[in-house]
């Protein structure tokens, strides 16, 4: 019988390609062969609403809508301090009230955070890598940026209006949860735990052999500058990526509680992590 192949969805951003390089290139042991499916994060978020992929990177905001079908692995996620989405514009704005704000998707954690912070803005949904050009061209008043854009927005002549990570950390004292690796619960607890360990081994391999991963990172990155690529990895890959830990889990619980209280996410009693 032909071996079962598990499809794994993640974004082409350097933090994801860094984490999954070893797993998808046969450098570490895996309980099943893994086939990489690279898509932008909002596409993966939408697919999760259909339960399309058995193993996938998701925004925590999207996870909040599929908690009964998926469970988060303890490894491979994106949480931390100084990692927040930014709101940028061509010039300072007194308020976002009535402003058209380009967003990277309604299922992203960035949009959930902005919805917790502000009301009355008009979201304009576009792919994340189109946001800064739209703002620079004056087609929208502001943009909600994620991923490598955090490091490159000044090149578009834009200014920072708001750092949603700083706001979250100031309000809660907790790290900001951005994204997680989720497994469909129907895979079964044994396989899910084995996959969690495989993801951790993959990240540990990348940390031990960073130069080996670089061609793969550059092949998929929006920004080809090695300086930007490694800044991205250093920012979004940290101790929480190896294991979400007690503090990280507490941050996710707080995010979901705040969103549920505002009616932005549905309630669920399903356990969040393995």
The per-residue pLDDT for range 135-152, each reduced to its tens digit, is 999 999 999 998 778 888
Torsions phi, psi for 252 (to 5 deg): -65, -45
Query: What average pLDDT score do residues 123-133 get?
Result: 93
- Long-range Cβ contacts of 89-96 (<8 Å, 24+ apart): 89/135, 89/141, 89/142, 89/143, 89/158, 89/159, 89/161, 90/135, 90/136, 90/138, 90/157, 90/158, 90/159, 91/159, 92/159, 92/161, 93/141, 93/142, 93/161, 96/120, 96/121, 96/142, 96/161
Whole-angstrom distance, CA of residue 114 vs CA of residue 118: 6
The token pair at 126 is: 């576009």
CB 56 within 8 A of CB 181: yes
Task: Pick the closest to residue 77 from 226, 218, 209, 247 (CA basis).
Answer: 247
Query: What average pLDDT score do residues 160-180 get?
Result: 97
The per-residue pLDDT for range 20-34, each reduced to its tens digit, is 999 999 999 999 999
* Count of C-beta atoms within a 10 Å radius of residue 14: 29
* pLDDT score for 165: 95
- Across the chain, mean pLDDT equals 95
Query: What average pLDDT score do residues 95-118 get?
Result: 96
The per-residue pLDDT for range 184-210, each reduced to its tens digit, is 999 999 999 999 999 999 999 999 999
- Which one is predicted more confidently, 1 or 15? 15
* pLDDT score for 151: 84
Is the model's pLDDT at 2 over the cut of 60?
no
Query: What average pLDDT score do residues 257-271 get?
Result: 96
The per-residue pLDDT for range 209-234, each reduced to its tens digit, is 999 999 999 999 877 789 989 998 99
The per-residue pLDDT for range 45-79, each reduced to its tens digit, is 999 999 999 999 999 999 999 999 999 999 999 99
pTM given for the model:
0.93
Residues identified as active-site = 147
Sign of CA dihedral 123, 125, 126, 128: positive
Query: pLDDT-based confidence at 1, cuts 50/70/90?
Result: very low
* Count of C-beta atoms within a 10 Å radius of residue 27: 16
Is the model's pLDDT at 254 over the cut of 60?
yes
Is the model's pLDDT at 3 over the cut of 70?
no
Residues of the chain with pLDDT > 70, as a percent, come to 99
Query: What average pLDDT score do residues 33-45 get?
Result: 95
- How many residues are given for the chain? 274
* pLDDT score for 125: 96
* Run of H or E residues at 2: none
């Amino acid at each position: 019988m032909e071996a079962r192949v598990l499809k794994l969805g993640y974004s082409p951003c350097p933090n994801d390609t860094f984490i999954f390089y070893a797993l998808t290139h046969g450098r570490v042991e895996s309980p099943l062969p893994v086939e990489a499916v690279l898509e932008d994060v909002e596409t993966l978020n939408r697919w999760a609403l259909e339960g399309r992929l058995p193993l996938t990177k998701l925004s925590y905001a999207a996870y909040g809508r599929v908690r009964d079908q998926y469970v988060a692995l303890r490894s491979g996620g994106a949480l931390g301090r100084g990692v927040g989405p930014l709101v940028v514009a061509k010039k300072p704005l007194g308020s976002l009230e009535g402003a058209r704000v380009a967003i990277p998707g309604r299922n992203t954690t960035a949009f959930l955070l902005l919805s917790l912070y502000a009301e009355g803005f008009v979201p304009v949904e576009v792919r994340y890598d189109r946001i800064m050009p739209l703002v620079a061209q004056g087609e929208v008043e502001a943009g909600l940026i994620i991923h490598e854009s955090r490091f490159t927005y000044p090149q578009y002549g834009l200014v920072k209006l708001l750092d949603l990570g700083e706001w979250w950390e100031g309000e809660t004292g907790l790290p900001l949860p951005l994204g997680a690796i989720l497994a469909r619960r129907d895979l079964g607890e044994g396989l899910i735990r084995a996959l969690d360990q495989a993801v951790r081994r993959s990240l540990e391999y990348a940390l031990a052999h960073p130069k080996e991963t670089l061609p793969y990172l550059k092949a998929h990155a929006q920004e080809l500058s090695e300086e930007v690529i490694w800044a991205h990895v250093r920012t979004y890959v940290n101790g929480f990526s190896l294991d979400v830990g007690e503090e990280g889990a507490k941050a996710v619980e707080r995010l979901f509680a705040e969103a549920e209280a505002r009616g932005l996410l549905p309630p669920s009693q399903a356990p969040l992590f393995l």
